[in-house]
Each structure stands twice: as structure tokens, then as C-alpha cells.
Amino acid sequence: MKILVTGGAGFIGSNFVRRAIENAFPRLEGATVVVLDALTYSGNLANLAPVAESPRFRFVHGDIGDAALLEQLLAEVDTVVHFAAETHVDRSVRDASIFVETNVLGTQRLLDAAVRSGLSRFVHVSTDEVYGSIAEGSWTESQLLEPNSPYAASKAGSDLLVRSYVKTHGLNASITRCSNNYGPYHFPEKMIPLFVTNLIDGRHVPLYGDGRNVRDWLHVDDHCQGIALVLTGGASGEIYNIGGGTELTNRELTELLLETTGRDWSYVDEVEDRLGHDLRYSLDSSRISADLGYRPRVQFEQGIAETVQWYRDNRDWWEPLRHRAAL
């Protein structure tokens, strides 16, 4: 199999690439991987360094909005896994334009190129945030889309475009929607890497509002395992939720990170809540479990301890990125 991975220099995309090159995914052994990434502020070639010398890996610096480049690359592959997206909610609140351009228009151009090329398989990687907020219970894939941030709205738009290309053009495409990811190589503007790197250095961390917002946490290895299962066994036109099964309030997560880094609550600054901040996310992953045999393997306590240790051991990776995260 020859796979084009868009956004493959980002946090989740690079994990998928490294694991694929390591032959970690059943039915993808020996696959050739081409990464297309624009290397905007959160894209990082260092994320791909462990596999950069593999003969089965190639990196292309470019944008999913470049129709001519897409035409060329899609002629060389038979499968696309589409990670490329602007993802940080806070940035979308300040300026939504790049989120619409990349997440909606970029996805549309990629879909057009996929149809023209006769691509055999397309997996679109999305987010639980498209569902909005849920007070109790968990979302199934049939839940109405009610996004509450410009980021989530742009991802919902891209999801609907993918669905339309399945129905209109017969594209063999599936959509995955994941809960909050954590793990190594996570850009230090998101909560866990921001808090961990700040606390390691004895800096304060900002906790939004009262910290009662609930998130379901999923190790990036488990997420990519789920994507690989959908790629090789998922049904066209189907949506698959991929959850981690560990729900914590942001306050509970902060307490755990304080304990793991040896800090106390004096390092926490409770700041004004973010606009449109969803209260709770929770995914029902029973479809992907029943249909494709998915189950999260990384226990949260083990995964978070290993993640904190990775940041302790890899200061040379994250310290140069701090100024980008502050923009």
C-alpha cells in the first residue's frame, strides 16, 4: 500500500507515520508513506526524524490547497489519511479565517483531487468537538453536529464535505472522530504539554475558569491504532468514534500533573474562562470496537507518567517550540 499522509509532521500525524514505518499496524506492514505538510507553526520535521532515513518514507513540503501538487502526489499513491488541519481552539477564537481556509477549503481541494485520481481509500481524521457539549451520557456517531467554536465548526464542515463526496462521487471514504489525545511530540500549546513543560521548569500554569470542564483522554498510540483499523477495515461512508475511556475534569488532570511533576497548587493560576468553552465531551466507541476490534491499550496512569518522563528527557525537542506556542 502507498499512503499519502497529510499533516504528517504534526503531533498525531507523525505518530501514525512513525508507527506505520515501524510496521506496528496489522495489514499495513511494508506500506510506503508519503508525508505532505506545510510546516506551519506546529508542524515539525523533528517529529519524523526517527523514520527519516527509511526507504519507505518520503517528505514533501507543501500545502493541501495546492491543486497541482495534489494532482501529482495522488497519482503516486492509492490511499490518503487526512490529518492536515488547524486545531487550536484559542487561535480559532482570535481569528477563524485560517481554520476555514485549511480545514474546509483545503479538505475540499484534497477531495477533488482524490476523485480525479481514482483513489481507492480515504480516511478523514476529525474530532469529538464537532458534537458540541454533552451533560451526561456519551455521543454515538449519529449525534447531531452542534459545534461551539470556530475550530469545531470548521472540522464539522470538512466532515460534511467528506460525506458528500461519498454520496455524490462514490469516494471510498470513512471519518474518524477522536477524543483528546496526549503523548510524546505534542506541541506545547495544548493543555498537557503546556502544563508539563511549565511545571518542569517551575513556571505557573493557567487553568480556565473553575476547572470543571470534562475531557475524555486518549493516548496517541491508541488513536493511531484505531485509524489504522478504519483504514484497512472500515466501511465507506461510515463514521467511527475513537475514545480513550478516561474522563477527567481539567481540575483533576491539573492535580495529577502537579503530583507527577512534584509541584503544588501554588503553581496554578485560575484565569478567565475561554469563550464558548464546552463543558463536557464523551464518546461512545462501541461501533469501532464491535466492527473492527478496537480497544484502548494504554492505561492512563501509565501513559501520563511515560509522557511526563518523555518531556523531561527531550527538552531539546520542546524548548525551541515555546516561542511558537506563545504566538
Residue 327 has pLDDT above 50, yes or no: no
Active site residue 71: no
Listed in sequence order, the residues at least 6 apart from 244 whose beta carbon sits closer than 8 Å to its beta carbon are 179, 180, 216, 217, 218, 219, 222, 223, 296, 300
Domain 183-215+246-277+298-325, what architecture? Answer: Alpha-Beta Complex (3.90)
Longest dimension (CA), the chain: 58
CATH class in words for 2-181+219-242: alpha beta
Mean pLDDT of 76-84: 97
Is the separation of the CB atoms in 239 and 177 below 8 Å?
A: yes
Q: What is the mean pLDDT of the chain?
A: 95
Residue 42 has a pLDDT of 85
Q: What is the pLDDT of residue 325?
A: 60
What's the pLDDT tens digit per position in 23-36?
999 999 999 999 99
Asked whether the predicted pLDDT for residue 179 surpasses 60, the reply is: yes
pLDDT tens-digit profile of 220-232?
Answer: 999 999 999 999 9
Domain with CATH 3.90.25.10 in the chain: 183-215+246-277+298-325
Q: Which pLDDT value is given to residue 322?
A: 82
List 151, 165, 182, 294, catalytic entry: 151
Could you confirm whether 311 is annotated as catalytic? no
Q: What is the mean pLDDT of residues 119-130?
A: 98
Catalytic residue among 37, 63, 128, 221: 128
Does 240 score more than 80 pLDDT? Answer: yes
Please indicate whether residue 127 or residue 41 has the higher confidence score (pLDDT): 127
pLDDT on residue 96: 87
Mean pLDDT score, 140-162: 96
| Catalytic annotation present for 269 | no
Share of the chain above pLDDT 70, in %: 99
Report phi then psi at 248, rounded to 5.
-140, 145
Does 314 have pLDDT greater than 60? yes
Start and end residues for every CATH 3.40.50.720 domain found in the chain: 2-181+219-242
Who contacts 110 (Cβ-Cβ below 8 Å, separation ≥6)?
6, 64, 70, 80, 82, 84
Out of 37, 129, 159, 222, the active site residue is 129
